[in-house]
Structure 1
Amino acid sequence: MQVLQVQLEVGPDPAEVGRARRWARSRLVGSGIGDDEPLAETLILLISELVTNAVVHTGCPAVLRMLFGSAGAVGTVRVEVADASGCPPQPRHAEGDDTNGRGLELVDGLADRWGWQPEGAGKQIWCEVDSGGPLTTPAAVVPAGPVVVQGALFGVQRTATGATGVPVAPVNGSGIAQSRNA
């Protein structure tokens, strides 16, 4: 199966988050996902949170990628944000009046799966949203090696499988994959 991958370089300025949202919305429409569909709204919110985290917490440029199945196929949309910081994401629980600190909680609640892995000297944080049809996640999109699977926000450890159905397991704690459906 073919995968369409689109990518945007995002500068280290919080104003870039709005540009990333506009760019992503146009790419979703181009992939056949209507901009008023709930799937599009969910993906735009996830993109906004992941890009904001990368730009605000690292102060470095980031790269936003979206991966879609072949034209007309229904399945999984994957969002990846890579940055130059090797520090793992730090989920936290925001209190009632806090004005920030909810980004990864939103990602955990809205994405079907999410996680992070080292990428070069930095890291990549990714999430996947199933569009309601058969899964189209290609093997090339699944991390090359096994990853730790756990619900870091809620302390729940789970087992997950990659695109081939083979369980993924810890590799020296180098990354975390999280799945609500695992």
Structure 2
Amino acid sequence: MQVLQVQLEVGADPAEVGRARRWVRSRLAGSGIEADEPLAETLILIVSELVTNAVVHTGCPAVLRMLLPGLPAGASVGTVRVEVADASDRPPAPRHADGDETNGRGLELVDGLADRWGWRPEGTGKAIWCEIDRCGAGAAGAGAYPGRTRPEAFPGTYPGMAYEAV
């Protein structure tokens, strides 16, 4: 299977979150993930949350990466991986926001929407990642925050992989 890895450098400005969402939409268009399928909107929401967290909580630029399986339109299998790397070495701090609070729901949303998520140190900072399995049954929400596993480093090479950096 061919895999496409794409990445976008995101500035430390909260306005960059909208640019990241538009960029994701444009990359999904050629990946076999249709704009009107639920997976597309889920990915855009997850990217929005992770990029917002990186920009707001670090005040530094970040890098958004997506790993897309090269599938024909309508295919029902494959895993999409999203990562946001930032310059902060502080681990993510999931929390539960109370009723009227305007912040604190981002990682809770990621936990509920992704099949798996976690983080790992990267350089002097960290990368927060999540994966969504594209399958008929879908098992979103892999469980509570504690006990998440840290996978091996983000794959750098795959046979038949195309790469794009923006």
TM-score bracket for the superposition, by shorter chain length: 0.7 to 0.9
- Partners of 1:119 and 1:47 lie apart in 2 by 19
Question: Mean alpha-carbon deviation: is it higher for 45-54 or for 68-77?
Answer: 68-77
- Pairing partner for 1:101 from 96, 101, 104: 104
Classify 1:116/1:160 alpha carbon distance in 2 versus 1 (closer, same or farther; 3 Å): closer
TM-score by length of 1: 0.73
One-letter identity of the residue aligned with 1:96: G
Q: Percent identity?
A: 78
Aligned pair count?
Answer: 146
Alignment of 1:18-97 (within 5 A): 18-72=18-72, 74-97=77-100
Q: What residue ranges of structure 1 are gaps of 5+ in the alignment?
A: 134-149, 163-182
Runs of at least 4 residues off by over 3 Å: 157-162
- Partners of 2:133 and 2:40 lie apart in 1 by 11
- Pairing partner for 1:151 from 134, 141, 144: 144
Structure 1 residue 29 displacement after superposition: 1.1
One-letter identity of the residue aligned with 2:38: P
One-letter identity of the residue aligned with 1:27: R
Give 1:126's aligned residue.
Answer: 129
1:39-90: CA deviation from partner (whole Å, max 9, x where unpaired): 0000000000000000000000000010012343631100000000000000
TM-score by length of 2: 0.80
1:91-149: CA deviation from partner (whole Å, max 9, x where unpaired): 0110011111100000000000000000000000000011116xxxxxxxxxxxxxxxx
What's the RMSD between the two structures over aligned residues? Answer: 2.5
Question: Mean alpha-carbon deviation: is it higher for 69-78 or for 49-58?
Answer: 69-78
Matched residue of 1:64: which SS? strand
Matched residue of 1:151: which SS? coil
